[in-house]
Amino acid sequence: MNIDFYKVVFITTEHAEYTEILFNVQSFAVSACATESTQTDVALRPED
């Protein structure tokens, strides 16, 4: 799931019209992966 989540974040950060979707995905992933804080934290902050 973390890999797919990272791909979603990476794609949506390149397309501003999906910002709302990005936030929804982040909220879901944070709650679903709360115990995987390191991987989630990296996925929330992809580097350009």
Identify the pLDDT of residue 8: 62
Sequence length of the chain is: 48
| Residue 11: predicted pLDDT | 58
Which of the residues in the chain have pLDDT under 50? 1
**pLDDT for residue 3:** 57
Name the token pair of 40. 């989630």
**CA separation for the pair 27, 48 (Å, rounded):** 21
Domain residues for 34? 2-44
Domain count, the chain: 1
- pTM for this entry: 0.21
Per-residue DSSP letters for 1-48? -HHHHHHHHHHHHT-GGGHHHHHHHHHHHHHHTTT-HHHHHHHHS---
User: pLDDT value at position 22?
Assistant: 63
The whole-number pLDDT of residue 21 equals 64
